[in-house]
Amino acid sequence: MSATPENPLADPEEPITDLRRRLAEREAELGEALEQQTATAEVLQVINSSPGDLAPVFDTILKKATGLCEGAFGLLSIHDGKRFRRAAAHGVPAAYAEFFRTTDTPVDSSTTPPARIIAGERVVQIADLAAEEAYRAGEPNWRALVDLAGARSIVTVPLLKDGAVRGLITILRQEVRPFTEKQIALLQNFAAQAVIAIENARLLTETREALEQQSATAEVLQVINSSPGDLAPVFDAMLERATHLCEAPCGLVQTYDGEYFQNVAERGLPGLREPIRPVPGMPLHRIVNGETLVHIADLADDPLYRSGNPRRRWTVDEAGARSALWVALRKDEILLGALVIYRQEVRPFSDKQIALLQNFAAQAVIAMENARLLGELRQRTDEVAELNRGLEARVAEQVEELGRVGRLKRFLAPKLAELIVSKGNEKILESHRREIVVVFCDLRGYTAFTETAEPEEVLDFLREYHGALGPLVSQFEGTLDQLSGDGIMVFFNDPVPIPNPAERAVKMAVTMREAAGQRIAAWRERGRDLGFGAGIAQGYATLGQIGFSERSGYTAIGTVCNVAARLCAEAKDGQILLSQRVNVALKGGVVTEQVGALYRTLPVARGAAEVRSRRVPVVAGRPGEGPFTIRFADLRHRVLPTGGLLSSRPPPWRAA
């Protein structure tokens, strides 16, 4: 049969071959995309692991970009506003590396890639450098690229931040083979990552400077707090940090009494101790007349120096001060003094440094105001001390109350503990007798589990197990007696009587079984064969606090506790056994069924060599009586399989 358009199946190999080709193309695209994503992730990881250090970031970016773009070598340069400075290189031939080691790339020709980038181009690609006019004209950089590095094809993309050129990345090939659009797009992505790294480094530097300033401010405030009324250490600490952060080796703190300025702290300018009466032309006179700051770029080029003022002459000629900054210390328009710093070179202070010095001046005003207020505060010392004594007594009472609540919360529901303490009726915790309902629950197979598991694994399990079951005690208003290993003992109807204690106990046991089942199912997936069982009994017991002053508890003692413990021990995996009295107290609210008498086998010694055994009932009662298990037909609960003797369905974690 011949192949025709009406019969596409005439040659079945053609569509198969086409599908294979398309599949191979798709696999190649996916592999290329994965390689690019991996490279991007590695670059971001280097950025995160090298905060503020751009060298490893640039090296990684250039290495990945050169490899993925199939280049022979690559260059990365940073632009400082005037020139490009090389920041990284990868795979550069030795001869060319020696050429550019001490040579920047000037933007001296409109035809060079850097010049075209500055002019606004966002991608510069040259198919063959040797065919360009600049190479034929002998331009040094072009000649070096072609003759020393063997470069032919080149692509350059800028590092852009808000439209401004921050640098550029260049990839070169040593053969004439232009770069594809995908490769150019990939290179632009690497350029964007380089910009992120540059911006991160800038922000980190600013953050460090801000942190250093905040630390200095905090230290000065700490000195203010630790030296109430004593301004000398405050001024010394402030001047030390201000001169350091503002890069000024000399400084003064001066106070003003309405007529004279007096130095109260100095750094780097000894010999200026006499009071100063400000005269016209002096920066301090301008401060007195209302200016908040005076900034002089060069004291030697100031009219006061040229006029021969002795103090200014000494400051410049003897102390070597040149650039200077005065900031007023004012409180509500009242001049208190001035903060002054000097540099021994002509270098004006930046806006940030001026703002920082103003912040220190504000702190000095705070310290001075604090010293003034201290005298007023001392007049009220006795009154405040008396008030403090009263507050301390109240706090002590509250702490004691919180301690009592905390101790009661260890075995009572939080609301019940708070109620007992708020009413001051802790006598109900004294030894007494009452009918209660006791719940014992523990895990089947726990002993074998602890014998084979590592201690850390056992602790992890118990934390999860207790974390799931413990909150249920408070939820159902029970009293926690014991929480030991896998065993939990809870009783109801004491220390405060509650309605329907048997029903609450059963509901709690059901909820515990469900919560435990979810955890047990997960642990069985790890090879741990565990199960859950519970026993519930009702009867009279003696209750009260036991222990000593530093550690006490609230417990129940009596046959009912023993019965609940025996029922728990006899309960099978997933089974909850109830005593006869609990079953009667439920009044049909929960459907149960009798499981028959339960017996234990005890050894009986007969003579020195003969040992026999006898069967005794687990729970004492009339012949034929036995405990009950829950069928859970009660519609108020989600129906669960019993997991007991008479149920054929397994517990939920068995089914899992």
**pLDDT for position 645:** 30
H or E stretch covering 43? helix 13-49
Measured between alpha carbons, how far is 622 from 372 in angstroms, rounded to an integer? 90
pTM over 0.75: no
**pLDDT for position 642:** 33
The CATH homologous superfamily of the domain defined by 28-203: GAF domain (3.30.450.40)
Query: At 559, which amino acid appears?
Result: T
**pLDDT for position 215:** 79
CATH code, residues 227-377: 3.30.450.40
pLDDT tens digits for range 32-87: 655 666 656 666 666 666 666 788 888 888 888 888 888 999 999 989 888 888 88
Domain residue ranges of the chain, discontinuous segments joined by +:
28-203, 227-377, 430-655
pLDDT tens digits for range 171-208: 999 999 999 998 898 888 888 888 888 888 788 777 77
Dump the DSSP string for 544-558.
EEEEETTEEEEEEES
- Within this chain, domains 28-203 and 430-655 share the same CATH topology: no
| Overall fold of domain 430-655 | Alpha-Beta Plaits (3.30.70)
pLDDT tens digits for range 486-538: 899 999 998 888 999 999 999 999 999 999 988 888 888 888 889 999 999 99
**pLDDT for position 600:** 57
Label the pairing between strands 334-343 and 323-331: antiparallel
Does the structure show a pLDDT above 90 at 123? yes
Q: How confident is the model at residue 155 (pLDDT cuts 50, 70, 90)?
A: very high
pLDDT tens digits for range 395-437: 776 666 666 666 666 656 565 666 666 666 667 677 889 999 9
The candidate with the shortest Cα–Cα distance to 110, out of 86, 130, 134, 144, is 134
**pLDDT for position 631:** 54
Residue 44 Cα distances to 53, 64, 88, 91, angstroms: 13, 12, 17, 22
- 52: phi > 0 → left, psi -120 to 50 → alpha, else beta; which? left
pLDDT tens digits for range 597-656: 766 555 555 555 555 555 555 554 444 455 767 654 332 333 333 333 323 234 444 443
